[in-house]
């Protein structure tokens, strides 16, 4: 997550959000939630996240040898799972960074001849803040939660769609660089897509989902009131998957991750999903944000619960997720 200069890792919420604030719009589903037989593999989730947050990658700071290793790892993942490059290669060079840096971008074409012209973006940032400059025992900011956890979730969704071919719309899978430098990867890519008259339906950006919240919903969405995305996700899953987190609104997190670059340019529902709630994780931008503190069963069940929602988003005959007026 892009650095929140006014936040410290020891900030806590004084109390839980009021139940009345959670998804007050409760429209009835026009259809039953999808039955997903596909099972997310917990061992694969663990292995993927363990490498991406390993010391070998030296904290994945944009423009370093560590993030270059991460880029190769993500390219290999796309190749292995038959996700094609959106551009000539998987690498999308940032136009706003002084040394070579790359978003990693893959695409699965939709199966419907008309709906495939519309795109859903599933994204997360794979960069982090690199090495500590001061001398101390541990100098590597591994960024397991921020945001190797989100990258892992998007990768698992890519694997699911590649195997099931259940997307009528085309899906762009994006791993952003430069997020920690000021959303640079998303700012660069969105301008290129705009020039192509890219037909964006919606973007789900996954940000810090490595540990669960102690709430009556799985995750929160940034910019809760900006669209009906939270309502529709809950309809699609048949559960209270998304809730409203007051701290998200207070700290304006909608504007602090890569969803905002796309919202600003396209004006479409582009929002981030997270389980970092200022109570459940003490190691934001800290060397202790490591694999060993990640909750692998939670991450696995998070992806599993979202599969009906992302499938519906990629298959509905009409654009059911819309901006609120």
Relative to beta strand 219-221, strand 270-274 is antiparallel
- What topology is assigned to 41-313 in CATH? Aminopeptidase (3.40.630)
Residue 62 to residue 126: CA distance in whole angstroms:
9
DSSP for 12-62, written as a single string: --SSPPPGGGS----PPPSSPPP-------HHHHHHHHHHHTSGGGTT-BT
Residue 312 to residue 201: CA distance in whole angstroms:
12
Per-domain boundaries in the chain: 41-313
**Length of the chain in residues, anyone?**
325
Q: What are phi and psi of 301, to 5 degrees?
A: -70, -30
Instruction: Name the helix (H) or strand (E) containing 68.
Output: helix 65-80
Residue 321 to residue 56: CA distance in whole angstroms:
40
**Under 8 Å between Cβ of 280 and 212:** yes
* Plot region of 190 (φ>0 → left; ψ -120 to 50 → alpha; else → beta): alpha
Contacts for 121 with CB less than 8 Å, ≥ 6 apart: 171, 172, 173, 174, 200, 202, 203, 204, 205, 262, 270
Per-residue pLDDT in tens (0 to 9) along the chain, 325 residues: 766 544 433 333 333 333 323 333 333 445 688 999 999 999 999 999 999 999 999 999 999 999 999 999 999 999 999 999 999 999 999 999 999 999 999 999 999 999 999 999 999 999 999 999 999 999 999 999 999 999 999 999 999 999 999 999 999 999 999 999 999 999 999 999 999 999 999 999 999 999 999 999 999 999 999 999 999 999 999 999 999 999 999 999 999 999 999 999 999 999 999 999 999 999 999 999 999 999 999 999 999 999 999 999 999 999 999 999 8
């Amino acid at each position: 997550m892009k650095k929140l200069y006014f936040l410290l890792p020891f900030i806590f919420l004084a109390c839980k959000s009021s139940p009345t604030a959670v998804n007050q719009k409760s429209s009835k589903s026009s259809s039953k939630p999808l039955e997903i037989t596909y099972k997310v593999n917990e061992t694969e989730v663990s292995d993927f996240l363990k490498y991406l947050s390993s010391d070998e990658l030296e904290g994945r700071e944009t423009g370093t040898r560590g993030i270059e290793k991460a880029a190769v790892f993500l390219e290999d993942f796309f190749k292995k799972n038959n996700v094609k490059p959106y551009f000539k290669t998987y690498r999308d060079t940032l136009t706003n960074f002084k040394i070579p840096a790359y978003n990693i971008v893959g695409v699965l074409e939709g199966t419907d001849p008309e709906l495939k012209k519309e795109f859903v973006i599933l994204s997360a940032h794979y960069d982090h803040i690199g090495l500590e400059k001061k001398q101390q025992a541990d100098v590597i900011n591994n960024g397991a939660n921020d945001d190797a956890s989100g990258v892992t979730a998007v990768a698992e969704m890519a694997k699911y769609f590649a195997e099931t071919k259940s997307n009528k719309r085309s899906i762009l899978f994006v791993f952003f660089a430069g997020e920690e430098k000021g959303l640079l990867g998303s700012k660069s890519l969105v301008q290129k897509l705009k020039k192509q008259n890219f037909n964006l339906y919606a973007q789900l950006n996954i940000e810090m989902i490595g540990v669960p919240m102690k709430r009556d919903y799985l995750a929160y969405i940034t910019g809760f009131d900006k669209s009906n995305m939270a309502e529709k996700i809950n309809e699609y899953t048949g559960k209270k998957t998304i809730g409203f987190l007051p701290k998200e609104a207070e700290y304006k997190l909608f504007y602090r991750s890569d969803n905002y670059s796309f919202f600003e340019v396209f004006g479409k529902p582009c929002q981030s999903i997270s389980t970092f709630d200022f109570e459940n994780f003490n190691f934001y931008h800290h060397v202790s944000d490591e694999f060993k503190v990640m909750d692998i069963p939670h991450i696995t069940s998070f992806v599993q619960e979202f599969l009906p929602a992302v499938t519906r988003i990629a298959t509905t005959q009409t654009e059911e997720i819309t901006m609120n007026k």
